[in-house]
Amino acid sequence: MADPDESPVGPSMTPPRSEATALDPFFIPRGCAVVGASRDPAKPGHQVLRNLRAVGHLGPVYPVNPRERALEGWACYPDLVSIPGPLDLVVLCLPATTIPSVLEDVRCRRRDRQDVRAIITTAGGYAETGTPEGRTRQAELEAFCRQQQVLHLGPNCIGVIDTHNRMDTTFLLGTAHQPGGISFLSQSGAFGAWILQSWSSRPRPTGFNRFVSLGNMVGVDLVQAMTYLGQDEHTRVIGMYLEGYPDPRKLLLTAARVAQTKPVVVLKVGVTPAGRQAACSHTGALAGEDALYDGAFRQYGLTRVKTVEELLDTLQAFDTLPSPSGNRVFLMTHAGGPGVYATDALAALPEIEPARVTGATRQALVDILPPFSAVCRPEGHLDMTASGTAMQHAMALELLLGDAGVDAVILLDLPTLFLSAEALADHLLEAYGRASSRQPPPKPFLPCLMAGKWVAEGRRRLEEAGIPTFETPDRAARAFANLLRHRTLRQAGRRALTLPFPAAGGEAGRRQTLTEPEVYRMIAAEAIPIAPWRATGNPAEASVAATELGLPVALKLVSPDLPHKSEAGAVILNLAQADDIPAAWERAVTAARAYRPGLRISGGLVQRMARGQEFIVGGLRDPQFGPVIMVGAGGLLAEYVRDAAWRLAPVDEDMAMAMIGELKAAPLLEGVRGGPPADRAALARLVAAVSRRLASIPDLVELDLNPVMVGPAGAGCQVVDALAVRLSPE
Amino acid sequence: MADPDESPVGPSMTPPRSEATALDPFFIPRGCAVVGASRDPAKPGHQVLRNLRAVGHLGPVYPVNPRERALEGWACYPDLVSIPGPLDLVVLCLPATTIPSVLEDVRCRRRDRQDVRAIITTAGGYAETGTPEGRTRQAELEAFCRQQQVLHLGPNCIGVIDTHNRMDTTFLLGTAHQPGGISFLSQSGAFGAWILQSWSSRPRPTGFNRFVSLGNMVGVDLVQAMTYLGQDEHTRVIGMYLEGYPDPRKLLLTAARVAQTKPVVVLKVGVTPAGRQAACSHTGALAGEDALYDGAFRQYGLTRVKTVEELLDTLQAFDTLPSPSGNRVFLMTHAGGPGVYATDALAALPEIEPARVTGATRQALVDILPPFSAVCRPEGHLDMTASGTAMQHAMALELLLGDAGVDAVILLDLPTLFLSAEALADHLLEAYGRASSRQPPPKPFLPCLMAGKWVAEGRRRLEEAGIPTFETPDRAARAFANLLRHRTLRQAGRRALTLPFPAAGGEAGRRQTLTEPEVYRMIAAEAIPIAPWRATGNPAEASVAATELGLPVALKLVSPDLPHKSEAGAVILNLAQADDIPAAWERAVTAARAYRPGLRISGGLVQRMARGQEFIVGGLRDPQFGPVIMVGAGGLLAEYVRDAAWRLAPVDEDMAMAMIGELKAAPLLEGVRGGPPADRAALARLVAAVSRRLASIPDLVELDLNPVMVGPAGAGCQVVDALAVRLSPE
């Protein structure tokens, strides 16, 4: 029976066929002109031709240079207009200032020949400079491309590479055109170069399929490129270097659809300090662009990585490892200390569990391994000592892969006199082949042959045979954890794609702080439990209300001028007797008037005291992300520890449960100091309900429910204070 | 005037001269025998001879093998006894079972010739196996060495290397004997091999001085080796791979003394989950071996690193970078995306600040760099775009190093067509040389030439000239942060060395939980402020006490059977009127009797309510570490976030301030929600006083002061609850 998680996504998620071919002119052009082609190796226009040769480009190439007859074996043309055949792609290797005249030639061809379907502009000097000239230049380029209906990539980019279709329009040094299943989108040409040069420097160059440098995104942008790669049959996993995108919701939605069929791995940079906007709520103070992106990546099923090493390892793991059937990892080594180091690294990753093998496997291991080997001490770990031979490695690997309790094997090895990396690689490959054919499907096997150049040939042999190798056990473990995590992420993304998707932009207007009763009335339309309350006009009414609501109660002054009531002394908690209310009212008024002279007081809110664990639920309407929802730990410390999880609104209850699970304070809900577990489900319901409310009220720009008291399981939770900012028309 | 921090350490810290030569027989032996020497490349005894040749060992070498006449050009001997000349060192390359007979020969030589001063045993099969045979074998070896008064290294080790004295007794593949200032101590031979092979695989092999593999530490142990390397004139920085040490206090004290003159960088593995002992206190629940080691490393001035990459980078940085005069780092690059990535990495390190250059420097940079360069946008950052030439790099570097606002420069570069790593390296070296000679002392310069093999030669040139290079900007930044941190660490270590040093081991006895009044009386001898309290025998006495102490008060039952009073309902807070006391007493008794039937109640403790930020101060007498002190965030969440800082007791107030500064909750003390700052100094005084108390009462095994309420600055802090476990004689 098919895993429901594997079933195809609904029709709304399948982009039209045209999207799958939209960017073909860049990758499989009928004719490619290189303007600025040159004999001088210091010129980009030289290296582009070199790379087209190096990749073995099959289509016609037209170097454009009036002073040359031929370059790299291709006949030169004085200008674009004189090129005979059909011309799909023009690569501009020229400074920004000389480009307008070439665009005139493009215009002529578009008019006379109806070709030139795509342009790549490598030059900088556009909007990225932040200068008025640069911005004007970019606007002109954009207008040209729109008017001519021509595809455009750049400016300020290094173009595209396609190992399958043998295309390379970059001027990069050091690209190995090794085919593979990784495609990479980069908002920085230099970052792309870093990745490509890192790939080509490995013992065996890492294979990849397509590379797209997006530059300033005039024309082709991240969304279009992501959609295209999502449809590309040779792409198994997509990597992305992301600085930012003007409409993050659109990008996330696109990437989420793609991530349903191929993992999307994102390195997001530009982590700015939190506290993104002038906010009067705690929610606002906790928000930050990075926190919102982070929550959104989790929500839409994208794998976020933090370092370039993790990016490289994770892409390779997704491309080459078989899909794991579980998270039980066995660690085998002949190196004691590195084994302990690796055990620490594995223990730090919650996604991974140590594998437990059967007694039979354990005994078989003991039987074949050197006398002082430590087998399954600790569980999921095997140290065969430095005297373990290549054959013993192979036998142990085969036994472990054959045990049903093992989902994956990580191996650590250092070359020794007695054990060359090459011999080890050969034996391991045989053993892995035997185990995989006897008991398909193959299991993930992650060898870490450490020690730099001394293992280069051994690693090359393994990778040539399709087994990825890793630099260190921590890096292998993290890449594998990302593989495991993808399963959960994809499910989250699948759910997120079924939810409504409100528009982003906040409306304009005057910010107006609502009083607590106003907030309660605004949110009351949904299933949001609020501790029983009553708005009262005077102490006598409040006393009556207290008795009717049930004691003890809290008394809170209601004032449009007092968003932070507690600070002002306008909140009195734990009033156990109705008779105490008038004095409390008096005390609160005195304190609040001292805190803010001239304060308007419109009454007193009486609310039954609620008990439970304190949490905070809040939301914002972010200018970029639109409505967002947050749940966090309550209390003072939480503000300082910044323990909060974010998503774009709305979320469903499952997603809300996942958010709660991300909190450092999550264990509080499992019961504290021997107490019963708290009503996590009720908190999740509340979060989901609040998120729907946020998504449905466009002028609700800030909302704090703080605290929310979460009672024991089954007892629900209750909001006991609230703050909101609404936009009212100017 | 001399920096007081640079002044020599007191006489008590200078080990005797004999310690400086104690291990010389391993490194500069008059005569070295290799027992088990072999012609077979698969035997360790072959590779030891190869390595002695490779390192260019100058002293006499005596291969011992009855079946060979000569090996690697050295004459063979049939046994140890027949070796003519003086023989300082015997390297045993034999299986454990054959060693006893060789030791008999050693015994003969000791008796007849009075030589053989040191033995290295490489074999495994001793206590590390965890078997009775292994333990017996190790005990016999230990007895032999003690009886014969012979130095011993191992068993289960790979020996020593010394590049200065040209010694290498290891059987490792892949050691480059490049001299340098790093020495390394390893509790794992394989981990040592990993380091050595990583060093030898770099574009230019990393230089080092001495390497010691300690194995099972029969004879030479970590303390002795650390002391020896501390005295070694060619060692500038010491690295250590640490699994554990039976007397951590002794190791820490030794390493702390060494770290006053040379940095000690520790990779500590074997991170076990917290909750080290059956404990009834929160302090006990928060303790864990790793947390104690971590606190102790900070206390004694050792640099802890977490990954093998950080270990390699930090050792290299300490060995080769000039000491920084400040933490203001300028980041220069020609690569936009990697620059943003690096900015994130720098911003994540609190040790580092962005450098601000003068307007003149900024203008000069703008003048010399390509037109679209981003200069000081953001501050401390320069992106000269991909068109920056090697000359422009050099000029920019010289300008930056010449600016008084710059303490160090990190450079990121990727090779391009226009800019080869070699040309860049040459230009940078010239510029660095000019800047350093014009304006000594030289400033740290950390180039990251990225992109693997494409930059190998460029990196080699820089390192040949003494400039360390790094793989990624994050790794460079972290190594530099460790350099900066060492200054603070060394000061901490200096203070720690002046404090008394109580013995570790806890005494035996029956654990006895003390009641709150008993704890207060026990700790009251020191300056530990406790919220005013009174032990009372009945409700009437309690009412009187409440009035005298000042209202509001808390009432707490006193019972030897009730360590966790709050859970039992035996604590009633916020009693505002003396008349309320009798009813509260009654309520508490009822609740506590329901919680634990048959409970003994010896009275009621009345205590004036105190306000402030909640913290916890606690301590333990740990079996390994002895008395330890902890300060942590108070409240429920803190227990779950595990926000605590540890030190060995006693600590002084400065150290206590540093502990408080490590807490995630530290910002709470700066004032919350617009309130005044809290009395951090008072909390530090309390921590120091408690630590002295812990150190002076050997039978006090657990202490929780929880919570401690910290009032506004100047108002002090007060303990409002306490729990302790004391050992009483059986």
Domain CATH number, residue A560: 3.30.1490.20
Q: Say if residue B428 is in the same domain as residue B548.
A: no
In SS3 terms, A400-438 reads as: HHHCCCCCEEEEEECCCCCCCHHHHHHHHHHHHHHHHHH
CATH code for the domain of A401: 3.40.50.261
How many angstroms separate the Cα of A57 from the Cα of each of A74, A410, A508, B128, B635? 12, 39, 53, 60, 67
Q: Is residue A353 part of a domain?
A: yes
Q: How far apart are CA B692 and CA B680, in angstroms?
A: 19
Minimal CA separation from A525 to chain B, in Å: 32
B192–A415 CB contact, under 8 Å: no
How many angstroms separate the Cα of B465 from the Cα of each of B209, B360, B398, B425, B462? 18, 30, 17, 10, 5
Mean pLDDT of A378-387: 92
Nearest to B191 among A46, A201, A341 (CB): A341
Q: Is residue A32 part of a domain?
A: no
Name every chain B residue with its beta carbon within 8 A of the beta carbon of A454.
173-174, 197, 200-201
- Last-in-domain residue among B608, B631, B657: B608
Q: Say if residue A455 is in the same domain as residue A396.
A: yes
Chain A nearest-CA residue for B574: A574
Q: Is residue A481 part of a domain?
A: yes
Nearest to A337 among B171, B191, B415 (CB): B191
The reported pLDDT for the residue numbered B504 is: 64
Q: Which two tokens stand for residue A447?
A: 């060898």
Residues 582-601 of B with CB under 8 A from A: none
Name every chain A residue with its beta carbon within 8 A of the beta carbon of B577.
none
The reported pLDDT for the residue numbered A617 is: 96
Contact assessment for residue A575 and residue A553, using Cβ atoms and an 8 Å cutoff:
yes
Q: Which two tokens stand for residue B469?
A: 């290079």
- Last-in-domain residue among B608, B636, B651: B608
Q: Which residue in the block uniquely carries the two structure tokens 């429910």?
A: A705
Q: Say if residue A576 is in the same domain as residue A597.
A: yes
Name every chain B residue with its beta carbon within 8 A of the beta carbon of A451.
174, 193-194, 197-198, 201
Above pLDDT 70, what percent of chain B? 94
Name every chain B residue with its beta carbon within 8 A of the beta carbon of A135.
none
Above pLDDT 70, what percent of chain A? 94
Q: How far apart are CA B436 and CA B420, in angstroms?
A: 24
Nearest to A337 among B190, B307, B453 (CB): B190
Q: Say if residue B388 is in the same domain as residue B487.
A: yes
Q: Is residue B111 part of a domain?
A: no
Q: Say if residue B342 is in the same domain as residue B484.
A: yes
Interface test with B, best of A417, A448, A572, A616 (most B CBs within 10 A): A417
Q: How far apart are CA B94 and CA B154, in angstroms?
A: 13
Residues 514-543 of A with CB under 8 A from B: none
A341 and chain B in contact, CB less than 8 A: yes
Q: Say if residue A402 is in the same domain as residue A334.
A: yes
How many angstroms separate the Cα of A307 from the Cα of each of A241, A298, A419, B291? 11, 17, 33, 26
The reported pLDDT for the residue numbered B92 is: 98
Is the torsion defined by CA of B146, B148, B154, B159 positive or negative? positive
The reported pLDDT for the residue numbered A17 is: 61
Q: Say if residue B427 is in the same domain as residue B541.
A: no
Chain B nearest-CA residue for A567: B673
Minimal CA separation from B666 to chain A, in Å: 9
Minimal CA separation from A499 to chain B, in Å: 33
pTM value > 0.80:
yes
Name every chain A residue with its beta carbon within 8 A of the beta carbon of B341.
191, 267, 269, 308
Contact assessment for residue A161 and residue A170, using Cβ atoms and an 8 Å cutoff:
yes
Phi and psi based region of residue B451 (left: phi greater than 0; alpha: psi -120 to 50; beta: remaining) = left
Q: How far apart are CA A689 and CA B653, in angstroms?
A: 50
Closest CA to B623 of B300, B289, B291, B297: B289
Contact assessment for residue B24 and residue B32, using Cβ atoms and an 8 Å cutoff:
no
Q: Say if residue B664 is in the same domain as residue B699.
A: yes
Tell whether the model's pLDDT for residue A541 goes beyond 80. yes
Closest CA to A128 of B298, B336, B395, B590: B336
Report CA dihedral (B669, B674, B676, B679) to the nearest 10 degrees: -10
Minimal CA separation from A69 to chain B, in Å: 23
Burial of A274 (0-12, 13-18, 19+ CB in 10 A): middle
Total Cβ atoms within 10 A of residue B11: 6
B450–A197 CB contact, under 8 Å: yes
Type of residue at B353: E
Mean pLDDT of A475-484: 98
- Last-in-domain residue among B556, B587, B608: B608
Q: Is residue B52 part of a domain?
A: no
A454 and chain B in contact, CB less than 8 A: yes
A189–B41 CB contact, under 8 Å: no
Q: Say if residue B584 is in the same domain as residue B437.
A: no
Q: Is residue A93 part of a domain?
A: no
How many angstroms separate the Cα of B373 from the Cα of each of A44, A214, A629, B433? 19, 20, 39, 25
Question: Nearest 5 degrees, angle CA A632-CA A637-CA A639?
Answer: 50
A41–B194 CB contact, under 8 Å: no
B454–A174 CB contact, under 8 Å: yes
Q: Say if residue A603 is in the same domain as residue A674.
A: no
How many angstroms separate the Cα of A360 from the Cα of each of A17, A439, A443? 54, 17, 20
Nearest to B269 among A241, A341, A635 (CB): A341
Q: How confident is the model at residue A418 (pLDDT cuts 50, 70, 90)?
A: confident
B372–A673 CB contact, under 8 Å: no
Contact assessment for residue A702 and residue A694, using Cβ atoms and an 8 Å cutoff:
no
Name every chain A residue with its beta carbon within 8 A of the beta carbon of B674.
567
CATH code for the domain of A676: 3.30.470.20
Q: How far apart are CA A601 and CA A556, in angstroms?
A: 11
How many angstroms separate the Cα of B73 from the Cα of each of A169, A369, B68, B88, B161? 59, 36, 11, 20, 21
Tell whether the model's pLDDT for residue A390 goes beyond 70. yes
Residue A383's beta-bridge partner residues? A333, A374
B337–A386 CB contact, under 8 Å: no
Q: Is residue A378 part of a domain?
A: yes
Nearest to B337 among A186, A197, A574 (CB): A186
Q: Say if residue B627 is in the same domain as residue B556.
A: no
Q: What share of chain A is helix, strand, coil (3-state, %, to 5)?
A: 40, 20, 40
A241–B337 CB contact, under 8 Å: yes
B341–A674 CB contact, under 8 Å: no
Structural domain count of chain B: 3
Q: How confident is the model at residue A281 (pLDDT cuts 50, 70, 90)?
A: low
Q: How far apart are CA B165 and CA A58, in angstroms?
A: 61
Segments of chain B scoring below 70 in pLDDT: 1-17, 272-281, 504-507, 525-526, 637-638, 673, 730
Give the pLDDT confidence of A675-696 residue by residue, as tens digits: 889 999 999 999 999 999 999 9
B641–A637 CB contact, under 8 Å: yes
Q: Is residue B284 part of a domain?
A: no
Helices B653-662 and B289-299, axial angle in degrees (round to 10): 130
Closest CA to A631 of A700, A524, A706: A706
Domain hosting B588: range is 532-608
Give the pLDDT confidence of A620-657 residue by residue, as tens digits: 998 889 999 999 988 776 677 788 999 999 999 999 99
Report CA dihedral (B526, B530, B535, B541) to the nearest 10 degrees: 140
Q: Which two tokens stand for residue A431?
A: 């053993």
Chain A nearest-CA residue for B242: A337
Nearest to B188 among A337, A371, A637 (CB): A337
Q: Say if residue A418 is in the same domain as residue A486.
A: yes
Q: Could you give phi then psi for residue A133, rounded to 5 degrees?
A: -60, -45
The reported pLDDT for the residue numbered B5 is: 41
Residues 180-239 of A with CB under 8 A from B: 186-194, 197-198, 200-202
B40 and chain A in contact, CB less than 8 A: no
A198–B674 CB contact, under 8 Å: no
B414–A189 CB contact, under 8 Å: no
Q: How confident is the model at residue A730 (pLDDT cuts 50, 70, 90)?
A: low
The reported pLDDT for the residue numbered B7 is: 38
Q: How far apart are CA B574 and CA A573, in angstroms?
A: 12
Q: Which residues of B259-271 are buried (b: 16+ CB within 10 A; e: fewer)?
A: bbebbbbbbbbeb
Q: How far apart are CA A642 and CA A274, in angstroms?
A: 10
Q: How confident is the model at residue A505 (pLDDT cuts 50, 70, 90)?
A: low
User: Chain A to chain B, count of Cβ pairs less than 8 Å apart?
Assistant: 256
How many angstroms separate the Cα of A526 from the Cα of each of A529, A534, A630, A686, A688? 9, 18, 17, 9, 10
Reported as half-sphere exposure (CB side, CA atoms, 13 A), residue B207 has a value of: 22
Q: Where are the beta strands (DSSP E) in B163-223?
A: 167-168, 179-186, 208-213
Q: Which residues of B647-667 are buried (b: 16+ CB within 10 A; e: fewer)?
A: bbbbbbeebbbbbbeebbbbe
Residues 52-111 of A with CB under 8 A from B: none
